[in-house]
Structure 1
Amino acid sequence: MKNSLFLLLSFFICVNSYAQKRDSVYAFSYFKDNGQDGLHLAYSEDGLTWKALKNDESFLKPEISADKLMRDPCIIRGVDGRFHMVWTVSWTQKGIGYASSKDLIKWSDQQYIPVMEHELKARNTWAPEITYDFINEEYMIYWATTIEGKFSETQIEDDNRYNHRMYYVTTKDFQSFTDTKLLYDPGFNAIDASIVRHDGRWVMFVKDETKVPVQKNIKTAIAESITGPYSDISAPITGKYWAEGPTAIKINDEWIVYFDKYTNHQYGAIKSRDLINWEDISAKITMPKGIRHGTVFKISKKELKKLLKAK
């Protein structure tokens, strides 16, 4: 009897999973130019060919910070069913932007989260991301910051003396947040982290921002807990070009990591089954013109239908 119930439950789980896959398409949040006009969205049915939504016009214009920018928009679907977004509000401010939406069209009021205001010598808060930690049932928001005088062993004059490390807070409701803590110090200037769950561990994609000797590539690190400690950094997983803004999604049995080949003014992609061995598929993807650093996520076909009608 128990075996029959187990087989029946497994069957329903498989059917539900298959139905969800058939009902899903992929969405991509991104910015253009300097981020002054706000949030842009694109969609794809196969993860390769991407089309801009709303004639590539902004879905949400930035309102907070003196600079009023919306760079590096990261969107995830929360356990509450809402879409939660964070972004870079300025080149120099010590906090990040936050807003939420049930449909990606109408958004909540924009909020400023002062994650680094307590650090007098913090120079910036760049490229925030959100990952949901289902083990602790909370969200982790993480970003790159340079704090003058810290990690002096990797401080150089190049790149305007930026010398980033990754920091984080956690939250259950996007209203109250834990104190800011150091997330990852790989021993070099690092930005643009993005974390996924794979084979029971957390995998961080992160940009090695080192300019002398030049790196400017994407690498990976692994941890048992989302907050670390993370392993020693891997070899580069991207090629002999400058890459930033990695974002990953699993499509069928393969992971695809999209990234901005920012000096080439084009997007790239690599794929892998194990996140160790990689194949470059940049030639197979088509992205909207001018797309810059964003994130990939899933939406339903019903949600896409509404987005296609957005004006």
Structure 2
Amino acid sequence: MNDRPLQPSRRAALGTMAGLTAAFALGTPPARAAAGSAYVMAYFTESPNGDGADYGLHLAVSTDSLQWTPLNQNQPVVTPSGGTGGLRDPFVLRRQDGTFVVLATDLKGTDWSLQSQYVHVWDSADLRSFSGYRRLKLHDLATHSWAPEAYWDAGRGQYGIIYSAVNSSGHNVIMVNYTSDFVTASAAQVFFDPGYDVIDGDLAVGVDGVNYLYFKKDQTLVGARSTSLAPGSFTVFSTPVAHGGTEAPILIRSQATGTWFLWGDTYTPNGVFYAWQSAGLASGTWTAVDQRLYTQPLNSKHASIQPITATEYTGLLATWGAPAWNRLKSYNHPARYVRHADFVGRIDEYPFDPYADAQWTLVPGLADASGVSFRSVNYPTRYLRHSDYRMALAVNDGTTTFAQDATFHRTAGLADPSWSSFRSHNHPDRHLRHADHVLRIDPISTSTDKADATFSVCS
């Protein structure tokens, strides 16, 4: 449940297929998923000034659980029609019959004083359509039902729904209800209460006979474990993990390597995801993942990740489409993205508003169709071009000079061949690079130059 304060009274206690075709033409297709190696992320969106706020269900897909492709142009695939009319903290669970259920907090915006005893629920066969929308009541307490998640409890033969609520203890605890159909649920009971404020529980069930629960404590992510799923059976064991104020843990295991990843969502700055990795959950220790290796969906907040099949991955892309735009991520400053600001080309730290300043349509080169030109999404008559070797966003005046200045040839990354570099069309001894965070074209010779001139073309 991102970016929310403790309650004051309790503080002391507590694209379309055409877009796909265009991407393939430019050599930047979403990676194809091997059998059983793909993932779907559910999230909502917010941005620092609210330009990117949307409280519907958003989806993204990945083949490695690290690099993500937003679906439906990063617009919602479904939005609640009841309650507050918006959601936060969506969670996707694959049910025992292979279909999916989606749960989410019933809250639109950030008015934490609103108290809902309900959560949003949808059914879906394949996440390509959604049916049976309803709100499920979890308790009669004068408190919230934040960040719901669900799991299969084989011993009970039922699903458990865990969520954050304030119990008689006076601080947030993790509650649980049991259900067979996500239409009705048992009475609420306390699932985990270590004696201090905890929210945002995320479970990994049955890992070498142990169940792991990660949660937010004092702006950090902490783990507890139990050999059963019985309420009250979990004990804290892990070393806290954080990057600034961190919440919304996600545990996901790579289907390719077996590596465990722990994602966390920070709210200072607004909505930045960080990832850590571990060879196994038993140690309770984590190592930060290089930010070059992962990219969150644009403006994404408090997400969940669910493994899917290659067929489901392909079906989601076919139904919702990959973005018709791209972002460019800096190699040696991976927290920064190429953007325009006052029509000057530069790299700035994510997130920022207007967020569309960092969205680009990569079109065939204006001077040479085998090259590429960068057309602004929010100023579609303007392109990145160089003038006196400095990059600016300018209106295409139709001249040959403009076309040449705005055309680049994409090459293997000068610092890393799995990334990309961009050679100037009319100054072929120069490449696009940043210097003091400002974009320009320069001759490249040193290792620093090469790193400055290397970018990831991502969504």
Matched, 1:293 2:293: no
2:44 to 31, 39, 64: 31
Q: Over the residues paired in the alignment, what is the CA RMSD in angstroms?
A: 1.9
The residue identity in structure 2 corresponding to 1:49 is Q
- What SS does the corresponding residue of 2:56 show, helix, strand or coil? coil
Q: Structure 1 residues 228 and 187 mapped into 2: Cα distance closer, same or farther (>3 Å)?
A: same
Does the CA contact (< 8 Å) of 2:190 and 2:231 recur in 1? no
Q: Structure 1 residues 227 and 69 mapped into 2: Cα distance closer, same or farther (>3 Å)?
A: farther
Q: CA deviation at 1:21?
A: 6.7
- The within-5 A match list for 1:125-274 is 125-147=145-167, 150-152=168-170, 163-197=171-205, 198-208=207-217, 215-251=218-254, 252-265=257-270, 266-274=272-280
The structure 1 segments of at least 4 consecutive aligned residues displaced by more than 6 Å after TM superposition are none
- What SS does the corresponding residue of 2:319 show, helix, strand or coil? coil
Give the Cα separation in 2 of the matches to 1:264 and 1:179: 38
Does the CA contact (< 8 Å) of 2:136 and 2:182 recur in 1? no
Identity among equivalent pairs (%): 24
- The within-5 A match list for 1:112-127 is 112-116=135-139, 118-119=140-141, 122-127=142-147
Does the CA contact (< 8 Å) of 1:184 and 1:228 recur in 2? yes
Does the CA contact (< 8 Å) of 1:27 and 1:297 recur in 2? yes
Aligned residues: 270
Q: CA deviation at 1:282?
A: 5.2
Q: CA deviation at 1:222?
A: 0.8
- What SS does the corresponding residue of 1:263 show, helix, strand or coil? coil
Q: CA deviation at 1:172?
A: 1.8
Give the Cα separation in 2 of the matches to 1:235 and 1:106: 39
The residue identity in structure 2 corresponding to 1:268 is Y
Q: CA deviation at 1:78?
A: 0.6
Give the Cα separation in 2 of the matches to 1:232 and 1:225: 11
- What SS does the corresponding residue of 2:155 show, helix, strand or coil? coil
Q: Structure 1 residues 55 and 115 mapped into 2: Cα distance closer, same or farther (>3 Å)?
A: same
Task: Give the aligned partner of residue 102 of structure 1.
Answer: 125
Give the Cα separation in 2 of the matches to 1:272 and 1:190: 23
Give the Cα separation in 1 of the matches to 2:285 and 2:37: 27
> Deviations 1:53-111 (Å, cap 9, x if unpaired)?
1111111111110x211110000111111111110012421111111100112111311
Matched, 1:64 2:70: no
Does the CA contact (< 8 Å) of 1:43 and 1:52 recur in 2? yes
Q: Structure 1 residues 54 and 179 mapped into 2: Cα distance closer, same or farther (>3 Å)?
A: same
- What SS does the corresponding residue of 2:260 show, helix, strand or coil? strand
Give the Cα separation in 1 of the matches to 2:187 and 2:199: 20
Give the Cα separation in 2 of the matches to 1:304 and 1:230: 36
- What SS does the corresponding residue of 2:150 show, helix, strand or coil? strand
Q: Structure 1 residues 171 and 231 mapped into 2: Cα distance closer, same or farther (>3 Å)?
A: closer
Bigger Rg over Cα: 2
> Deviations 1:21-68 (Å, cap 9, x if unpaired)?
734311111111287441111111112211111111111111110x21
The residue identity in structure 2 corresponding to 1:98 is V
> Deviations 1:178-223 (Å, cap 9, x if unpaired)?
2111111111111000111222011100111xxxxxx211101111
Q: CA deviation at 1:235?
A: 4.7
Matched, 1:53 2:71: yes
The residue identity in structure 1 corresponding to 2:151 is T
With normalisation by structure 1, the TM-score equals 0.81
With normalisation by structure 2, the TM-score equals 0.56
Give the Cα separation in 2 of the matches to 1:132 and 1:142: 11
- What SS does the corresponding residue of 1:309 show, helix, strand or coil? helix
